[in-house]
Every structure is written in C-alpha cells, then in structure tokens.
Amino acid sequence: ETGVTQSPTHLIKTRGQQVTLRCSSQSGHNTVSWYQQALGQGPQFIFQYYREEENGRGNFPPRFSGLQFPNYSSELNVNALELDDSALYLCASSRTRDGTEAFFGQGTRLTVV
Amino acid sequence: GESVGLHLPTLSVQEGDNSIINCAYSNSASDYFIWYKQESGKGPQFIIDIRSNMDKRQGQRVTVLLNKTVKHLSLQIAATQPGDSAVYFCAENMGPKTSYDKVIFGPGTSLSVIP
C-alpha cells in the first residue's frame, strides 16, 4: 500500500457531463501529480500541484482543471466529457517539489458513454 | 521532441532466469530516471530510480543501468519470479531545469514469467 487513495475507483459518465476525481496524498507529501492512462499505454502527465499552486501542466485542454487543498489532497475536474476521456486517471504524491520518489494511487477508471 | 520508448513491447522469461528490459530516451536534458511496475488493475509501483550522474544502481534483485552516451536505460531483474509478471514502464523526469517538472512515461513492456 502506498498511502495514496483515490475515489471513486470506477465511474461511468455521459458525454458532455462533468466529473470530479479525488486523491488523498500520502502523509507528509505536498506535491501531487495527475496522469491519464489510456488502455495499453503509459501514463500521460496532466498537471502537478505543489503546496496548492499549479506547478506544471502537460498537453491537455483547459477543460481539465485541478485543485490542491491545504491538507494536500487534490481534485481533478474534467468538463464537457468526450468519449476519448475514457481512461484510468492516476494521481501520484511526492514529498519533493520536483515529483521524484512519487507514489501512485490505484487510479479511477472513468468510462464515458 | 521528447520521447521515452522501449525496444521490446513483450518479454517472456522462464522462472528463475534473469530478465532485462530496455528503454531508449531522446531528451539529453533529463536528469532523473525511474522504473515502475504496474500490475493489472493497480497504479504504477516505484521500483528503482537513478540520477544522470550515475551509471548503475542496485536494489533488491533489481539493477538499473544508464548509458548516457547512447541514451539507453535498462532494468535487470535477477531470478525472475511469477510475481514479477507485470507491465514495466521506464520514465524520465526533466527536473527543475525546465519551466515545469513532469515525468514522461514510455509505452511499457509486458513481462510474463513462465513457471
């Protein structure tokens, strides 16, 4: 167990809807990163938060947004869901600002129909 | 551009043999590399990492080798066990030198251990 928990574990949404995914970081970790993993592919970096501020962003449209809270838990929000958003969404927490020694949660499997 | 890729998408190994998983990277600015293991239905699990100022690092039954000259990374697993069956990802972290920090994953290699 990594101490990083994500909820929900599975989710089905309809195209056009909005979704919020949640991540609870490992104790003592102030950096959280979110990744999208399509079936059969490696995780793709979405963005990273350090102490409640966005610290970097990958090649994802603005309808992917996030938050990090004072207790370092985090949310990933996706608006106007598209079929291609169906994937495993992973969060990883780290105690270092550059995200090294990151530990992943088990992921949220999102299916958009 | 940036890319991290793997030479072999699938690998089958007899139990007890050694496994070698290879990875190529193209960004010479990367200074930190990580190997992850991902079992079905789970998130990636950290195995071992190495910084660019090293060429070899050993863990428990695993060794990572880094060849910066040819931009090549490998993961060696000694005495492979059935529990080692999983998808293995190499990843590079571009570190604080860039405007933001991120980890770039390769496409993964599926390791199957034959009992």
> Which residues in B lie closer than 8 A to residue A2 (C-beta atoms)?
43, 45
Closest C-alpha to A5, from A95, A99, A73, A76? A73
Q: Which of A33, A45, A49, A98 to mutate to test the interface with B (most CBs of B within 10 A)?
A: A98
Q: Which of B95, B96, B102 sits opposite A48 (nearest CB)?
A: B102
Distances (CA, A) of B96 to A26, A51, A63, B81: 22, 16, 26, 37
The radius of gyration of chain A from alpha carbons, rounded to an integer in Å, stands at 13
pLDDT in tens, B78-90: 999 999 999 999 9
Query: Which residue would you say has higher pLDDT here, A83 or A96?
Result: A83
State what percent of residues in chain A have pLDDT above 70.
Answer: 96
pLDDT in tens, A52-78: 998 888 889 999 999 999 988 999 999
